[in-house]
Amino acid sequence: MGFIGAGRVGKGLSLALSRAGYPISGLASRSRGDAQRVADASDVVFLTVPDDAIAAACAGIRWKNQSVVHCSGAAELFVLEKAPRAGGFHPLVMFADPEVAARNIAGSAIALEASEPLLSQLKQMVKALGARVLVIPPGARAAYHAGAHYAAPFACGLLAEGVEIWRRIGIAPEDALPALVSLLRGASEAVAHSDPARAMAGSVARGDLETIKRHVAALEALDAELARSYCAMALKTVPLAVGVSEARREELRVFLAGLTAAQRA
């Protein structure tokens, strides 16, 4: 297997596959200009380049009979139109650190798209990595990738906002972040053992409207944008408050939606 693209995804995925017993023919980088050499030495070539560069990277290689696989969540397979055989292989892992990503692939899900026999070959790789297979329907990659953002990149943004709120009331970021990450870890474990509705705790889950009003007032005193973000997110969690009466859920919806509309105005 060869990799064209020596960034975090290429390094992390090649490390994981190497540890799973797959021989790696090379990891090409733009600065070295060795993409053709790596492709010539490989049966399967992973294009681990930025999404906007996939089509050009594929078109720039003289292919023989290799299978060519991109690792984008959103790009459709037509960007590999110059390849003899094309596939998609998208691990649902954060690749901020290649070593951490390589360890975390085991137990994760990997979204695949390909025709046979390449699809079976990719499924075998997923099994060797200790991961789970997701098969993306053709034409649905962008929606799939957008949905994945709710579980990780958006969570990072919300954590950053939580840290900022605490910073403004005097809690140092180096204290805030570990505390909030621990809370997030507990929430994710609870969701894994049940579902989002049963795992959700907090003021909306309890139907505690007065506490929510105090939250909004406190955030508005700090920054109207923080209050706006809180109301928008809280409104999305109201349908998950399954232990609360419909009448109280309606009160929560009316309060939060009214604030959201007023804030937009």
88-98 pLDDT, tens digit per residue, is 999 999 998 99
165-208 pLDDT, tens digit per residue, is 999 999 999 999 999 999 999 999 999 899 999 999 999 999 99
Crossing angle of helices 153-168 and 224-237, in 10° steps, is 130
Tell me how far the alpha carbon of residue 7 is from its chain's centroid. 17
* pLDDT of 63: 97
Mean pLDDT of 37-59: 96
Grouping H, G, I as helix, E, B as strand and the rest as coil, residue 95 is coil
Distance CA 57, CA 170 (A): 49
CATH class of 2-139: alpha beta
* pLDDT of 265: 59
Mean pLDDT of 216-237: 94
Distance CA 213, CA 230 (A): 11
Residue 181 amino acid letter: V
Handedness of CA 156, 159, 165, 167 (dihedral sign): negative
pLDDT band for position 20 (cuts 50, 70, 90):
very high
Is the pLDDT at 44 greater than 90, yes or no? yes
* pLDDT of 96: 87
* Domain edges within the chain: 2-139, 153-264
57-112 pLDDT, tens digit per residue, is 999 999 999 999 999 999 999 999 999 999 999 999 999 899 999 999 999 999 99
Mean pLDDT of 204-223: 95
Residue 243 amino acid letter: G
Return all residues near 184 (Cβ < 8 A) that are at least 6 apart: 155, 159
Is the pLDDT at 138 greater than 90, yes or no? no
Distance CA 17, CA 66 (A): 18
Distance CA 53, CA 51 (A): 5
* pLDDT of 263: 65
Is the pLDDT at 260 greater than 90, yes or no? no
